[in-house]
Structure 1
Amino acid sequence: MNEEKPAVLVEARDGVQIITINRPEAKNALNGAVARGIAAAVDELDASEELWAGVLTGAGGTFSAGMDLKAFLTGDVPLVDDRGLGGITQRPPRKPLIGAVEGWAVAGGFELLLACDLVVAADDARFGVPEVKRALVAGAGAAMLLPQRIPQAVALEMLLTGDPITAARAAELGLVNRLTAPGGALEGAVALARTIAANGPLAVAITKQIARSASDWTTEEGWIRQGELMSPVFGSEDAQEGARAFAEKRPPVWKGR
Structure 2
Amino acid sequence: MDEVRVERRDAVQVITIDRPQARNALTRAVAEAMAAAVDELDADDDLAVGVLTGAGGTFSAGMDLKAFLRGESPAIEGRGLGGITRTPPRKPLVAAVEGWALAGGFELVLACDLVVAAETARFGVPEVKRSLVAAAGGALLLPHRVPANVAMEMLLTGDPIDARRAAEIGLVNRLTPEGGALDGALALAATVAANGPLALAATKAVVRGSADWGPTEGWDRQAQLVAPVFASEDAREGAAAFAEKRPPVWRGR
Q: What range is the shorter-chain TM-score in?
A: over 0.9
Q: CA deviation at 1:6?
A: 1.3
Q: CA deviation at 1:7?
A: 1.5
* TM-score, with structure 2 as normaliser: 0.99
Q: CA deviation at 1:145?
A: 1.2
Q: C-alpha separation between the residues in 1 aligned to 2:173 and 2:120?
A: 15
Q: Residues 66-87 of structure 1: CA distance to partner in whole angstroms, max 9, x if unpaired? A: 1000011112211122100000
- The number of aligned residues is 253
Q: 2:45 aligns with which of 39, 46, 49?
A: 49
Q: 1:196 aligns with which of 192, 195, 200?
A: 192
Q: Residues 28-66 of structure 1: CA distance to partner in whole angstroms, max 9, x if unpaired? A: 000011101110000000000100000000000000001
Q: C-alpha separation between the residues in 1 aligned to 2:23 and 2:227?
A: 45
Q: C-alpha separation between the residues in 2 aligned to 1:151 and 1:220?
A: 24
Partner of 2:116: 120
Q: CA deviation at 1:246?
A: 1.1
Amino acid at match of 2:152: L
- 1:60 correspondence with 2:52: no
- 1:161 correspondence with 2:161: no
* TM-score, with structure 1 as normaliser: 0.97
Runs of 4 or more consecutive aligned structure 1 residues displaced over 2 Å after TM superposition: none
Q: Residues 128-161 of structure 1: CA distance to partner in whole angstroms, max 9, x if unpaired? A: 0000111111100111111121111111111111
Q: What are the equivalent positions in structure 2 for 1:224-243 lying under 5 Å apart?
A: 224-243=220-239
Partner of 2:144: 148
SS of residue matched to 1:100: strand
Q: C-alpha separation between the residues in 1 aligned to 2:128 and 2:44?
A: 40
Q: C-alpha separation between the residues in 2 aligned to 1:74 and 1:215?
A: 37
Q: C-alpha separation between the residues in 2 aligned to 1:132 and 1:163?
A: 10
Q: C-alpha separation between the residues in 1 aligned to 2:200 and 2:144?
A: 22
Partner of 2:69: 73
Q: 2:97 aligns with which of 88, 94, 101?
A: 101
Partner of 2:27: 31
Q: 1:14 aligns with which of 4, 10, 15?
A: 10
Q: C-alpha separation between the residues in 2 aligned to 1:161 and 1:215?
A: 25
Among all aligned residue pairs of Structure 1 and Structure 2, give the percentage whose two residues are the same amino acid: 71
Amino acid at match of 2:88: P
SS of residue matched to 1:9: strand
Q: 1:175 aligns with which of 162, 165, 171?
A: 171
CA RMSD of aligned residues (A): 0.8
Q: 2:88 aligns with which of 92, 95, 108?
A: 92
Unaligned runs of 5+ in 2: none
Amino acid at match of 2:151: A
Q: C-alpha separation between the residues in 2 aligned to 1:125 and 1:18?
A: 19
Q: C-alpha separation between the residues in 2 aligned to 1:250 and 1:153?
A: 47
